[in-house]
Amino acid sequence: MAEIEKPLPQISPLTQPFWEAAANKRLIIQRCSNCGVFVWCPHPSCTECGSDQLEWKPVSGHGTVFSFTIIRHVLERRGRGFENDVPYIVAWIDLDEGPRFCSNVVNCPVDKITIGMPVEVVFEETGGGIFLPKFRPR
Ligand SMILES: [Zn+2]
């Protein structure tokens, strides 16, 4: 039976700028030129005012942990590829610029993570030119 590898992002024309920036270790988020809000996840139009005038803007990569969970067991086939990572942290990160971002917190023992912990982005190479934004304590 073939081993199932970790799923990777499906890159679309909409999300391609994000992944190109990530491959250069830059975090960019869409910002609405009409009302000024940052929009995440990528959208064709602003989630606040509906404008289609969205521009990709670099953000600091700094944020704080809003909430988290610790994955200690991997169940069923869909989890394969992650079994060597347990225990690991999945967290909602509130970026300093506003958007709430779901990712892993890395370089952090699972018993040390706290809500409100300051974190910064790091980029994890997955192969195939795709770099995943993750966060570490700062
Ligand atoms: Zn807007």
The CATH number that applies at residue 65 is 2.40.50
Give 62 Cα–ligand 1 centroid separation in angstroms.
23
Strand partners, 120: 62, 136
Asked if the structure places residue 85 within a domain, the reply is yes
Q: Are residues 67 and 112 in the same domain?
A: yes
pLDDT, residue 84, reads 85
Number of domains within the chain: 2
Q: Which residues have their alpha-adjacent CB atom under 5 A from ion ligand 1?
A: 32, 34-35, 46, 48-49, 51
Domain assignment of residue 118, given as a range: 61-138
Strand locations in the chain (E): 28-32, 38-39, 54-58, 62-71, 88-95, 100-105, 118-125, 131-137
Give 63 Cα–ligand 1 centroid separation in angstroms.
22
**Sheet hosting strand 28-32, strand order edge to edge:** 38-39, 28-32, 54-58
Give 99 Cα–ligand 1 centroid separation in angstroms.
14
Asked if the structure places residue 100 within a domain, the reply is yes
Q: How far, in whole angstroms, is CA 44 from its chain's centroid? A: 19
pLDDT per residue of the chain (138 residues) written in tens, 0 to 9: 455 678 888 999 999 999 999 999 999 999 999 999 999 999 999 999 999 999 999 999 999 999 999 999 888 766 678 888 999 999 999 999 999 999 999 999 999 999 999 999 999 998 888 999 999 999
pLDDT, residue 92, reads 98
